[in-house]
Amino acid sequence: MKKILFPTDFSSAAENAFLNALALAQKIDASVTLLHVYQLPELGRSLKTTTKEVYEMMEMEELEAFKKSVNKLRELAEEKNYGSIDLDHIMAEGETVYQITKIAKKIEANYIVLGTTGATGLKEIFLGSVASGVIDESSVKVISVPEKTVHHQTIERIAYLTNYQTEEIPVFHEVIELAKMYNAQVYCLHFDGDDSCKQGEEMQAWKEKVSSAYGKINYSVFTGNDFEEELLKFNDKEDLHLLAVLPRKKNIFARLFSKSVSKRIAHHLNIPLLTFPKI
């Protein structure tokens, strides 16, 4: 059976992401492991007995909060007709990103699904937050769900951001396999500020290699200086349910999102983001 790791911090963003984790689990026949990572403060070691007592009290408080959260999430699963999905839970102390990626590897998770608390757009996901660290360090696929994402029980439209490079093809085939499960439309999106002929040749070569694998693939090229605005317009038109990308180096995304980002983009481009382990 496949496995999904779902880190939770008890926030509303985590609850929203939980529904996405459950929907995916139901589709791919996976179990879901709830994970809560907490950190104990550095209180100094001069009063060892007192420090130990404080830590024990804090750990008990974290445990009680986690128990309540687990019960609440189980009730939510039942309410949304996901009660048949196997759920288990883990609590770990330590640095959040390290523990998430370590436990994902330990349980051999196929996906990490997590909410991005306070992260309302792609800029925030890539340039900050726990999700950014997990994307950087994870050896498994990560789905980051912005807090205001509208939950869909199925996935009808998937966009994949591509540079039309040969090394992306195995990853794109994974996107296709996911799309086949939902019979979803797939959009290959490319940003070309120069609209160069070379990019057109690369896109044609890419099409020849991948188009036969799935019959529902469309190709679009964004041009100009404002990638975010073009992506927002495309989403307004197509109502994407999932955006997939293969990160290479974080600074690529930093460059894409470093320009001024309008409030409209930050608040309305709330699409779950599927990222793959870096190549």
pLDDT of residue 201: 77
Higher-pLDDT residue of 117, 34: 34
Q: How far is CA 75 from the centre of its chain?
A: 24
Rounded Cα distance between 30 and 110, Å, is 9
Rounded Cα distance between 145 and 174, Å, is 19
Rounded average pLDDT over 26-42: 87
On average, the pLDDT of the chain sits at: 80
- Strand duo 273-275 + 242-245: pairing: parallel
pLDDT of residue 66: 75
Rounded Cα distance between 270 and 7, Å, is 19
**Residues 121 and 266 sit within 8 Å (Cβ to Cβ):** yes
pLDDT of residue 165: 84
Confirm whether pTM is higher than 0.95. no
* pLDDT for residue 20 is more than 60: yes
Q: What percent of the chain has pLDDT over 70?
A: 76
Whether 2-146 shares its CATH topology with 157-240 is answered yes
Among 120, 123, 117, which Cα is nearest to 260's? 123
pLDDT of residue 38: 81
Higher-pLDDT residue of 178, 115: 178
Among 14, 6, 9, 63, which Cα is nearest to 34's? 6
* pLDDT for residue 123 is more than 80: no
Q: How far is CA 162 from the centre of its chain?
A: 17
Higher-pLDDT residue of 198, 9: 9
**Residues 200 and 172 sit within 8 Å (Cβ to Cβ):** no
User: Which CATH architecture best describes the domain 157-240?
Assistant: 3-Layer(aba) Sandwich (3.40)
* pLDDT for residue 254 is more than 70: no
Higher-pLDDT residue of 105, 122: 105
Please give the CATH superfamily to which domain 2-146 belongs: HUPs (3.40.50.620)
Domain layout of the chain by residue ranges? 2-146, 157-240
Higher-pLDDT residue of 64, 231: 231
Higher-pLDDT residue of 195, 235: 235
Query: Residue 225: helix, strand or coil by DSSP?
Result: coil
Amino acid letter at 6? F
Query: Residue 208: helix, strand or coil by DSSP?
Result: helix
The segment with the largest mean pLDDT, out of 37-41, 104-108, 151-155, is 104-108
* pLDDT for residue 208 is more than 60: yes
The segment with the largest mean pLDDT, out of 31-45, 65-79, 168-182, is 168-182
Query: Residue 62: helix, strand or coil by DSSP?
Result: helix
Q: What is the largest distance, in Å, between two alpha-carbon atoms of the chain? A: 70
Rounded average pLDDT over 120-149: 76
